[in-house]
Chains A and B, each alone.
Chain A
Amino acid sequence: MTAVVVSDPDEAVAGVEDGSTVLVGGFGMAGMPVRLIEALIRQGATDLTVVSNNAGNGDTGLAALLAAGRVRRVVCSFPRQSDSWVFDGLYRAGKIELEVVPQGTLAERMRAAGAGIGAFYCPTGVGTPLAEGKERRTIDGRDYVLEYPIKGDVALVAAHIADRMGNLVYRKTARNFGPVMAAAAKLTIAQVSHVVDTGTLDPETVVTPCIYVDRILDLSVTEAAP
């Protein structure tokens, strides 16, 4: 099925279930699907596992989802930042679980999920505390640890432009985790600055093909609404 285009953020996130694993795009605020996260807070799904590079900045977006008490576990590479006070408070109070994953391994585990890879040997982190307990193997004289895919029930990503079928184009470094997350989840929801007619995007420039995208939130309509 090609994507459904909606202008109502609440409609975009309808049906997200309690206990879901939610992949949330963005690196800092670049590519952060803020309107979708706000809608997810209103939607009410709880007991979530959130997979994202960071664990929220300031008081909005992912930080607001955490502050609302909806997240049981965070899987990320870099939770601690100058403005991550919401996560820091929950973590120190023992109210949230944390799995720290090296950034490239985080991306590759999601890429593997989207590509149907069962597990992969990765050199990153060998000999460090983050590799403890992982299966280790030497291949061609180099040491690796076994890493498993991270599959999402839902991915929330931000892209620049979509067409009506759901093909996505990103903008500059806001692309970051969007393409791997879109492929790694059962239900992928993208917020975009605007939607163009199918056939308008140059097929050579499409980064995320529509096969990975289920719902599009067209912010140009959402934000023009009274």
Chain B
Amino acid sequence: MTDHTTTTGGVAGRVRTVEHLDRGPLGRDELAAAVARDIPRGSFVNLGIGQPTTVADHLPADAGVVLHTENGMLGMGPAARGDDVDPDLINAGKVPVTELPGASYFHHADSFAMMRGGHLDVCVLGAFQVSERGDLANWHTGAPGAIPAVGGAMDLAGGAKSVFVMMTLFAKDGTPKLVPECTYPLTGLACVRRLYTDQAVFHIGPDGVTVLETYGTTVRHLAARMDVTLHTLGGPRPYGGS
């Protein structure tokens, strides 16, 4: 399996930070496609509920990526339609799905052992916040009266060799969601490796946050809007922070 860790000379095949200034931010579909492009061929992958599910639509059929769903299946196919709908064959979002050749079924303890045991290559999750150390908050707003529900979020956060997060970089009120410290209740510590957002793609490692690409904005501009030190590839000077 390809290792996703930082290697000398670049991150995820990139040697320089690229600022795409000839375009605006990524749309939802483009964001899903950006995640899909970085999933190595032949990976075992779990796509979280909601937006991460759409990454599957952008994985080429010949990429050999095998999808895991934590309710007990490897080799999950696309959503089922019409006569293919089977109430016994659903994904973690409880949506009817299909099985692909080579699929297998297993019980819940095995499914999460597979995850916890570090056998999955990549999982893709949504988030409320990610910290500059890679802490993840995605299960609970912490709002008074909110009913807590964690599902498999904590298992997934700690359960893949690489955890990718996809989210908007800023909340509706303009507050950054990549933060020095999460203020929402945590899902996992130092678990996020890669952060895909509408405005930029980041790598998070022991040395902090590295911007890989920006979309319709510059690293300098993003740094001015966030309280996080942003490193660049091929450019030694970090931006921002305090």
A residues near B (Cβ < 8 Å) are 27-31, 53, 77-81, 88, 91-92, 98, 100-108, 110-111, 122-130, 160, 170-180, 207
Contact = CB atoms under 8 A, between A and B. Distances in A.
Contacts of B89: 30, 172-173
The dominant DSSP class at the B interface is loop
A190 to B, nearest CB: 14
Given A124-B158, A172-B89, 14 more contacts: A27-B72, A27-B94, A27-B108, A79-B147, A102-B152, A102-B153, A104-B115, A108-B113, A127-B189, A128-B185, A173-B71, A174-B88, A179-B109, A180-B108
A176 B155 contact: no
Nearest to B73: A173
B44 interface: no
Nearest to A184: B109
A185 B180 CA distance: 46
Contacts of B115: 104
Interface string B135-162: 1000010000101111111110011000
A80, A111, A124: most-surrounded residue (chain B CB, <10 A): A124
The A interface is mostly helix, strand or loop, or mixed, namely mixed
Interface residues of B, number: 42
Nearest to B147: A80
Interface in B95-145: 99, 105-109, 111-113, 115-116, 135, 140, 145
Contacts, number: 144
Nearest to B107: A179
A103 B154 CA distance: 8
B99 A172 contact: yes
Contact of B155 (A30, A53, A124, A179): A124
A102 B73 CA distance: 19
Contacts of B145: 92
Query: Interface centre among A30, A105, A178, by most B CB within 10 Å?
Result: A30
Contacts of A111: 109
